[in-house]
Amino acid sequence: MKKLLMLAGLAAVVCALILTACGSSSAAVASQVSDPSVTFVVLDSNPTTGYSWSCSVKDSNVLSLVSDNYTQDEAPAGMTGVGGKHRFVFQGKKAGSTEATLTYARANQTAAQKRVYRFTVAQDLSTSLELVSAE
């Protein structure tokens, strides 16, 4: 009986791990750095699947995309298909409000995920953002 309970518990843990690994967890981290005009968004990504993030800023007079880069998570030697983080860095250029659309898709295909952020740039160029929609 103890063995049966132990096996059932082990099976439950394995199932939970598999479901967690298979789920889509493109959790975003949005933050500001020491320069209040600079804001960044970090999203889970795995370009080995053929998917990658792209960004479109509606009004580049208000906000510019300073950089966007992907960093692979640490992986054991010989392991392939490891995901990582895609980081977008934005800088406020003049007071106003605009939106940036971040899209996760394969080339020439419909987006698997899309996030729209509203950026507000104050007179002092300090920049804040809010998630408007996530699909």
pLDDT of amino acid 111: 87
Reported as a single tens digit per residue, the pLDDT across 87-118 is 999 999 999 999 999 999 998 888 899 999 99
pTM over 0.75: no
Could you tell me which residues come within 8 angstroms of residue 50 by beta carbon, excluding any fewer than 6 positions away? Answer: 106, 107
Looking at domain 25-134, its CATH architecture is Sandwich (2.60)
Name the token pair of 13.
Answer: 């843990």
Reported as a single tens digit per residue, the pLDDT across 19-42 is 333 334 455 555 556 788 899 999
- Boundaries of every domain in the chain: 25-134
Please report which confidence band the pLDDT of residue 77 belongs to, taking 50, 70 and 90 as the band edges.
confident
Region of residue 22 (left: phi > 0; alpha: psi -120 to 50; beta: else)? alpha
Q: Which of 4-13, 85-94, 111-120, 124-133 has the lowest mean pLDDT?
A: 4-13
